[in-house]
Amino acid sequence: MITTLHLAGLLALIAAILIAPVACQEDRLERLEEVTRLLSRQLMLQQLYVDEKSRSDGDSGIKQIRVGRDGTKPFYTAAFAERAMASMHDHSDLLRTSGMGEFIAVLNGIEFRTRHNDYKLVMPSTTSGAYHVTEDIPFPEVPPEVEAFKNLDLKIIEMRQWFQAWQNRDRSQRDYRKYFKPILCYLEGAWSTDVTAMDEPFDSDRHRIEAFSWKELQENIRFTSYTGDKNTFENYAYLPNTIMNVTEDGSPVFAQWNYRILCHPIKTHIKLTDFKPVDMLPTRILTGSTYDAYANKRGARFSLNPDDGDREVKWDLLDKIMREIPGKDNYMARIKDEVYGLRKMDVFTNKPLNTAFYHRWYKTEETGANGQETSRRGFADRNLFMAETTQDHVAPVTYEQCLHPRKLQNRDCTTVVKRFSYAIPLEIIWLTPLNKWNPFNIKYKGDAKTSLAESVKADGRHGGRTSDKAYNGTHSKCYYITPAEFFDGKEVGSDAADTTRGSVGVLDRKGGVRLVKASGVRIFLPEIQGLGVLRTRYPIMPVYAEGSPIWKELEALREVVMNMNKYKKYFKSVPPFAPADPATLEQEEEDDKVVLRLSESNPEPVGLHDHTLSLSVMEYKQLTMKSRSLDLVTSMENGHSHAVTVDFDETTGKFRITQCDERYRCFDGHSVFLEPEF
């Protein structure tokens, strides 16, 4: 390898300097300085090599969780899910904590290991642009229709109706959307300039890194990695550091990797049916689950896909949500990116892209004959969401942008400085009115650390059902306010890491004992009469290995093997046990495509062109028979494509574009009507 040869050469040079009888001490020092500069630079490039390798091996995503079990086959030990995806668990007795264990993740090629996460439901500041200022995610209100009843049984019946409306997506009687609010919690990482003092990445009510300095943390990790020991409290993280730059005089400039988990209240409308289970066979075998049962297990993972069925897409629902989330400049930020002299444009609006928010796709402004070009961040990373920032705490890279790069003189250069953070989604949590609903009017005594909160568990109170053992009110780490009668069942599933207890006794303001259940966030709510067990946490984190060519081949193979009838035509010889039932014919029909064509247009400077839209027969039927509208992406022509919403007008029998790149009409003059091709 060239880099190794390089190093060997440099070492020989050092040796030569050290033993040569140099007359002039200064000369020797100068040469030593030069060698250090070269060596530091070589180290920096060595790190780049590792990152580049890791980037091409997989996508940004979760790679591995801590292994706790084993079996007779390798899949009994976890990769990224054991009985729960990414070691998710419940701390619903805490006001605003989502339980999540340790994991190894990769963001833009940087691999790191987290502490036990148990992150709090907080979001970037909406009023301040200062570094890492956050605010609490607001909980949904309680429907006034529930509060209007005096009698507890009636309140409960009404509250159940709201849950039913949410589950059935039925807004006719009760507009559940005001009270059932999804939030997206995401993992964010960046190279930081805070390289000495330990900087706790983010708040948790249960965990914090056990070290005072980065050096101490590195030594702790080196020790546990060498000895195989485990920190009992899972409070070590492996966060790499790197040489970010080498200055003119040869000193290395270091940067420290750090990460945090934050959440964001989603504004885009999403539905429960947008979540599609992602099959994970090891988890299914481990839990003995059929494919249908699997979605109701803790081990399940989901993807966001509003359509029924799979197809090629570009930007999708996830892009829509992520572009609502700012990077480290918080919600008020506005940054434009014009590196290489090309302005980056938003794929949804065709307006200049605000790069302070997370995105993976962008367009570049029309550049003469080529028209617009669509690109994505990174070389081949499906999940690389990036946001630009101006924070000094984030390590910068510089680039000399020259008008005449290939000349030696008069190159006319300016220095471009850029800072970025990276993010991937982790999970979507539905907040419900239960987070606030307090029909017994039990006193909330605030943060667990305050002296008022001490009275909750004073004198050996442990939540028992007698007035001397019941909790005296609640606090942020003992949050039980939901009437036990609201649920029919016990807590669902269990994990060694859960802290939630069944029903506990809590004193109300008059000293009466009330039987209540925990009111924080849960993976599954205990059974509700008439509705069963409802999921409120949907893990949607991407997986590193999915970016490898082996996984892609395997996933295609899994599709074919798991749906033999549908994919019969792909078998080299049809398996003898693939039944040839009448459904097969219908299935084959579904593999056909219907093509809709956009009218021709001839705008300057894009030039004469049209586009096609390709629909599966199933989608075609949805349009024409179920009068649904579909979000589709047109073919790429003359360097651009359009994101369109299409419906079918029954009275005229025509297919129409109702939205094109989030406008009513396509910018380049295509007609709203589409012609089918048969």
Ligand X SMILES: *[C@@H]1O[C@H](CO)[C@@H](O)[C@H](O)[C@H]1NC(C)=O
CB of 255 to ligand X, least distance (A): 10
Coil/strand/helix, residue 79: coil
Place of tokens 């949804």: 348
Which H or E run contains 385?
strand 385-388
Contact 495, 299 (CB under 8 A): no
Residue 31: Cβ within 10 Å count: 16
CB of 46 to ligand X, least distance (A): 17
CB of 325 to ligand X, least distance (A): 26
| CB closer to ligand X, 333 vs 456 | 456
CB of 169 to ligand X, least distance (A): 42
User: Nearest Cα to 547, choosing from 381, 379, 343, 369?
Assistant: 381
The CA distances from residue 466 to 148, 238, 453, 456, 479, in Å, are 30, 47, 20, 14, 18
| CB closer to ligand X, 74 vs 511 | 511
CB of 443 to ligand X, least distance (A): 7
CB of 420 to ligand X, least distance (A): 13
Coil/strand/helix, residue 130: coil
| CB closer to ligand X, 43 vs 617 | 43
| CB closer to ligand X, 126 vs 467 | 467
| CB closer to ligand X, 122 vs 507 | 507
Contact 279, 294 (CB under 8 A): yes
| CB closer to ligand X, 335 vs 456 | 456
End-to-end alpha carbon distance in the chain:
56
CB of 455 to ligand X, least distance (A): 4
Residue 627: Cβ within 10 Å count: 11
Which H or E run contains 539?
strand 537-539
DSSP code for 570: G
| CB closer to ligand X, 401 vs 455 | 455
What is the C-alpha to C-alpha distance for residues 617 and 676, in angstroms, rounded to an integer?
13
Note the helical H segments in 107-244. 144-147, 152-168, 214-227
Contact 544, 62 (CB under 8 A): yes
| CB closer to ligand X, 332 vs 397 | 397
C-beta pairs of 631-639 under 8 Å, 24+ apart in sequence = 631/306, 633/312, 633/313, 633/314, 633/315, 634/598, 635/611, 636/374, 637/609, 637/610, 637/611, 638/371, 638/606, 638/607, 638/609, 639/370, 639/371, 639/372, 639/373, 639/606
**From the DSSP assignment, how many helices (H) and strands (E) are in the chain?**
12, 30
**Structure-token pair, residue 511:** 């000293």
| CB closer to ligand X, 511 vs 549 | 511
What is the C-alpha to C-alpha distance for residues 661 and 665, in angstroms, rounded to an integer?
8
Residue type, 291: Y
Which H or E run contains 188?
strand 181-192
Which H or E run contains 42?
helix 25-57
CB of 400 to ligand X, least distance (A): 8
| CB closer to ligand X, 248 vs 312 | 248
| CB closer to ligand X, 20 vs 397 | 397
CB of 257 to ligand X, least distance (A): 17
CB of 374 to ligand X, least distance (A): 29
CB of 335 to ligand X, least distance (A): 17
| CB closer to ligand X, 472 vs 616 | 472
CB of 452 to ligand X, least distance (A): 6
Contact 88, 497 (CB under 8 A): no
| CB closer to ligand X, 472 vs 659 | 472
CB of 413 to ligand X, least distance (A): 11
Indicate left, alpha or beta for 68 from its phi (over 0: left) and psi (-120 to 50: alpha).
Answer: alpha
CB of 47 to ligand X, least distance (A): 15
Task: Name beta bridge partners: 474.
Answer: 444
Q: Radius of gyration of the chain from Cα atoms? A: 29
Contact 113, 125 (CB under 8 A): no
CB of 95 to ligand X, least distance (A): 17
Q: State the burial class of residue 459 (Cβ atoms within 10 Å of its Cβ: 0-12, 13-18, 19+).
A: exposed
What is the C-alpha to C-alpha distance for residues 368 and 372, in angstroms, rounded to an integer?
9
CB of 429 to ligand X, least distance (A): 31
| CB closer to ligand X, 290 vs 466 | 466
Contact 432, 140 (CB under 8 A): yes
What is the C-alpha to C-alpha distance for residues 619 and 450, in angstroms, rounded to an integer?
57
Half-sphere CA count of 322, side-chain side, radius 13 A: 28
What is the C-alpha to C-alpha distance for residues 612 and 610, in angstroms, rounded to an integer?
7
| CB closer to ligand X, 512 vs 532 | 512
By CB under 6 A, name the binding residues for ligand X.
245-248, 396-398, 452, 455, 472, 511
| CB closer to ligand X, 246 vs 646 | 246
Q: How many residues does the chain have?
A: 678
The CA distances from residue 480 to 138, 434, 452, 483, 506, in Å, are 18, 10, 17, 9, 8
